[in-house]
Amino acid sequence: MPNYWLVKTEPGEFSFEDLIRDKKTVWDGVRNHQAKKNMMQMALGDLVLVYHSVTQKALAGLAKVSKTAYPDPNDNPQNNWQVVEIVPVKALTQPVSLADIKATPSLADIALIKQSRLSVMPLSAEAFNTLLAMGQTQIK
């Protein structure tokens, strides 16, 4: 039973398309303790929805955890910031916009809405499945 997550990125910095092209990425640069705590709870194979903030404000794709949290090699080890690695699963057939998410009553409580600045957050299975359905995307 995998856990479900949502991560945010500014597509100008790194987008889901970049992830498809690169085949995998190190999810680094997280400098928030709650986000770090969430990252450390990610397990191998957990599914991760990738959200494009600022310019698109829409969910772009689905990825999964390919390596669990380890210390950021580019950071002072004393800070103990963590990174994970993810690989792409597939782009959403239909991007799911923030406006659509906000218009869906059952999604009103997800952290994306309630805590807009958090960049790594857990999703319930219900919220995850709802979002995937809104993206007209199925996991094979």
Partner DNA sequence: GCCAACGTTGGC
User: How far apart are alpha carbons 88 and 91 in whole angstroms?
Assistant: 8
User: How far apart are alpha carbons 11 and 86 in whole angstroms?
Assistant: 16
140 counts as binding DNA under rule CB under 7 A? no
| Nearest CA-CA partner of 18 in 88, 111, 100, 80 | 88
For DNA, give the closer residue by CB, 37 or 44: 37
Query: Dihedral, CA atoms, 109, 112, 116, 118, nearest 10 degrees?
Result: 120
Residue in 119, 131, 134, 135 binding DNA, rule: CB under 7 A: 119
Q: Which two tokens stand for residue 17?
A: 């398309």
10 counts as binding DNA under rule CB under 7 A? yes
Which uninterrupted H or E stretch holds 37?
Answer: helix 33-40
Segment contacting DNA by CB under 7 A, of 19-27, 31-39, 85-93, 127-135: 31-39
CB of 80 to DNA, least distance (A): 13
How many residues contact DNA, by CB under 7 A? 17
Q: Please list every residue from 51 through 110 that binds DNA, using CB under 7 A.
A: 53-54, 57, 98-99, 102
SS3 label, residue 83: strand
CB of 97 to DNA, least distance (A): 9
34 counts as binding DNA under rule CB under 7 A? yes
Name the region of 57 (left: φ>0; alpha: ψ -120 to 50; beta: rest): left
Residue in 73, 76, 105, 117 binding DNA, rule: CB under 7 A: 117
Residues that bind DNA (CB under 7 A): 8, 10, 31-34, 53-54, 57, 98-99, 102, 115-119
